[in-house]
Amino acid sequence: MTVHPPRVITATGLTKSYGRHRALSGVDLDVRQGEIFGFLGPNGAGKTTTIRIMLDLIRRDEGELSVLGHDPRTDGVHIRRDIGYLPGELAMSSRRPARELLTYLGNLRGGVSRGRIDELARRLGLDLARPIRGLSKGNKQKVGLVQAFMHEPRLLVLDEPTSGLDPLLQQEFLAMVREARDEGRTVFMSSHVLSEVQDVADRAAIIRRGRIVAVEDMDALRERSSRKITLRFTEPVSGDQFAAAENVREVAVEGDTLHCVVDGSPDALVKLAAQHTVLTLTSEEPDLEELFFIHYNGGGADAGAEGEADRDAAA
């Protein structure tokens, strides 16, 4: 018998309208303790709205919701104490240095050691002595991340955490997320970027037009997902041998350059390519639209048509 870990977030049928505009049309979520849960979706899909409802910063119209065992509507204060929250749109204009703000926030949460703030700032390359209002977007984002992580909350809710961070810092951030998970914390993070979610998440939900259209185990998705790969060799190659390789399709050769699509493991392609001298290799990840194709019929041209996906998901 499998024992399921306790649920940290459960949502059933969440709806939310802003005036006449419907932002959420029945969102269901189920996040387990100790997992990194990605929340993927295009602009305007409803990610921030869902997150704000979890934190009781705005109220749902309908549906059931439990976060850390409480309903945010009645126990918002309680819940927020145990959550590290990074808002999607950080508005910080204080003249005070970052260290002062962080210490103040730490005290509100029952005290955070100076060493902990220093360590997080060092990892993210944040200068704590500078006034917040003069910081660049990326540096403000770092202040937001330090305050989300510093009190070692049971649940981290991070809305677009890597926006504004350069690639090295994105990696550092992802390492922090994995460490939090390894310590038993739960991480719920929204993103547009499939690759970072694929790298770090255990599971992910895809939201589109206010509905969850898929919940995926990342290992399964990694195995199935397709990539466009381009290889440039020192000499012209023949496409035929590559077209016959396992998991390889849509092979096109222009002189010394080969384009193809690989579904799942590129092992066979790499081994064939190794028989030649490779000058460059580029791999493009599928964007979210292509991911919908993967879901709705393994690549059909109309699989991503608007409305179609929503209907399938509702069925």
Ligand X SMILES: Nc1ncnc2c1ncn2[C@@H]1O[C@H](COP(=O)(O)OP(=O)(O)OP(=O)(O)O)[C@@H](O)[C@H]1O
Angle at 172 between CA 170 and CA 175, to 5 degrees: 110
Binding-site member from 13, 88, 97, 131 for Mg ion (CB under 5 A): 88
Please identify, among the stretches 43-51, 143-151, 206-214, 283-291, the one whose residues bind Mg ion according to the rule CB under 5 A: 43-51
38 binds ligand X (CB under 6 A): no
47 binds ligand X (CB under 6 A): yes
Q: Chain-centre distance of CA 303, in angstroms?
A: 23
46 binds ligand X (CB under 6 A): yes
49 binds ligand X (CB under 6 A): yes
Pick 250 or 287: Cβ nearer Mg ion: 287
48 binds Mg ion (CB under 5 A): yes
48 binds ligand X (CB under 6 A): yes
Per partner kind, with CB cut-offs from 5 to 8 A, the member of ligand X, Mg ion, none near residue 43 is ligand X
Pick 19 or 110: Cβ nearer ligand X: 19
Please identify, among the stretches 18-26, 101-109, 219-227, 260-268, the one whose residues bind ligand X according to the rule CB under 6 A: 18-26
Pick 213 or 253: Cβ nearer ligand X: 213
- State the binding string over 61-90 for ligand X (x if CB under 6 A, else -): ---------------------------x--
Binding-site member from 4, 20, 21, 95 for ligand X (CB under 6 A): 21
Binding-site member from 11, 29, 31, 45 for ligand X (CB under 6 A): 45
Binding-site member from 36, 38, 40, 41 for ligand X (CB under 6 A): 41
Q: Which residues bind ligand X (CB under 6 A)?
A: 18, 21, 23, 41, 43-49, 88, 192
Q: Which residues bind Mg ion (CB under 5 A)?
A: 47-48, 88
